[in-house]
Structure 1
């Protein structure tokens, strides 16, 4: 009887898992979305390295104009890094290579054009129902659909499609940033979910909050390097590996001119010279922004409803003893009339910085003025 009850419980649990649903969205170039649903079962965790994307496509097309358009989207260099690195690490496979290892990848892209009769084309076209095919044929502005957890938990799926190669290429070129942002946000979200605070880092945050009246996630392992009435610096200094740093500076907001790239660099250099030492034993060593050989890259974004200037670039010490990459947000809290400069910078000589900077971005986005 107990065995029968146990069997019933297992069957009920599996049935409940099978009934779970997940929503996806299709997006056209005007930003209009159409929600879709798919069923999921109990799934393994998604695997793969941060920033890695598996692209399923007809490889002959990948070697042609369609592939060139895909490379412009996924292999564009990350702006502001000290060395050339692509936005993502791409693995290109054909449908017959799509085995159980690739199926649990963290990021998957299906590239389907309804032009082509090769086996790979037919397989990719077969993903879509007849109704979806007609919609694609009749609406050239519809080119992408997103969903999640198709084969694994924490998985992001993107379907790119077009009635023919030319239409798909056109949409890829016109909407590159939209596609890039989908995976950038997915990777940031994953990183944010892995940030864990310890009792020690919470104690540091309490000190920071009492001094500056701000909140920001401080991961376990970070230490407090400096805390002043207008400045915070926490850092992670492992015996081996990347040195990670997070700084916050606040001041009274004066004018819109403070948002120009030149003035943000000026502010950054002033803060660096005053607070961020390159060598604790050498007070004449401090951080400056590299502008001679590599100018910082800026763009405007919306951060928690605030007009914000994001800046990425290289930094060094004035005596050239060390250097690295940084990313910063500059914005104003209208309620307090305070300008905030929040930055993450890293030291990891001769190594890639892409994922480190993405990690710093995730930390910065946890910032809130109390």
Structure 2
């Protein structure tokens, strides 16, 4: 039986000699893989990095889900080995003849490596979610879609066209919003970002309120917004990340939302995850929300 890989979510093992790690190569790796996550209201690294010298490439290190092996050698090479020591696992080997060659390889290949790691971490988080699931029959019936939602979530609000699920804990809360719009109500020609903001803010005005009557959830455009076109369950979708704020209040945090074009059912599905965690890091909470949404199955 192959061994199961282990490791905290969003953590990578970099196997590299101390001399390289403490110089420009180490700087280059840290700049690429520990750069700030897009869309968080406070800076947090994309991945936590554990560094190990080459001679410890054995035992517990080989059980890591993501391993990047960086060394100097006789020729330049770049390979990705799937499930080399454990399952699921990506082992990335980067070898360069000179420091300059190594640096160039890291520069050139890092977008590809980051994409592979991100996809692997979403899958790993989805496996963790399978352990305990909330009853989502209401969602299946109402929206003709399936989501695996952990059982620490409960319904904060539900009506015929909208569902708000919330998980509360001592340091804050995470929320999931689900609704749908007829295709005719929103044109995805031109500036999609403006339309996402409009949908988000109108949901905030209708349903997500603070203690004051005037307080409602809205997107804070003074923070950077990141939008990309992706595919979810085989359908065209728009992913938007940024910072929400509650009007007339000090509350704010990170959000990620998805507009999914479901032409077959003549609708656009809108899903959003957001968190309010004022005193702790948000990255892994947001990663969980992203993992829940990206596991969507549309009936």
Query: What is residue 170 of structure 1 aligned with on the other side?
Result: 104
Note if contact 2:205-2:216 (Cα within 8 Å) is conserved in structure 1: yes
- Of residues 10, 25, 34, the one that matches 1:66 is 25
Tell me, yes or no, if structure 1 residue 350 matches structure 2 residue 284.
no
Which TM-score applies when normalising by structure 1?
Answer: 0.73
Q: How far is the alpha carbon of 1:185 from its aligned partner?
A: 1.4
Asked if 2 retains the 8 angstrom alpha-carbon contact of 1:143 and 1:160, the reply is yes
Q: Deviations over 1:198-242 (max 9, x none)?
A: 57x22xx2122222222222211211112233221111113x244
1:48 pairs with 2:7: yes
Q: Secondary structure at the match of 1:295?
A: coil
Matched, 1:143 2:78: yes
Aligned to 2:40, the other structure's residue is in SS state coil
SS of match in other structure, 1:169: helix
Q: Give distance in 1, aligned partners of 2:290 and 2:84.
A: 24
Partner residue of 1:287 out of 193, 208, 217: 217
> What is the Cα deviation at residue 48 of structure 1?
3.2
Counterparts in 2 of 1:64 and 1:197: CA distance versus 1, 3 Å: closer
> Contact (CA 8 Å) 2:13, 2:52: kept in 1 or not?
yes
- Give the 3 Å change call, closer, same or farther, for CA 258–228 of structure 1 in structure 2: farther
Taking CA–CA contacts closer than 8 Å with sequence separation of 6 or more, which of the two structures ends up with the larger relative contact order?
Answer: 2
Give, in angstroms, the shift of residue 258 of structure 1: 7.3
Distance 1:172-1:302 versus aligned 2 partners, 3 A rule: farther
Q: State the match for 2:182 in structure 1.
A: 252
Is residue 235 of structure 1 aligned with residue 166 of structure 2?
A: yes
1:336 aligns with 2:265: yes
Unaligned runs of 5+ in 2: none
Aligned partner of residue 265 in structure 2, secondary structure: coil
Instruction: Tell me, yes or no, if the aligned pair for 2:232 and 2:296 is still in contact at 8 Å.
Output: no
Deviation readout 1:45-89 (Å, 9 max, x if unpaired) = 544322111111122222333223322321111111111111111
- The alpha-carbon deviation at position 287 of structure 1 amounts to 0.9
Match of 1:186 in 2: 120
Quick one: distance in 1 between partners of 2:272 and 2:149?
13
SS at match of 1:265: helix
Aligned-pair CA distance for 1:256: 1.9
**Over aligned residue pairs, what C-alpha RMSD do you find?**
2.3
Partner of 1:271: 203
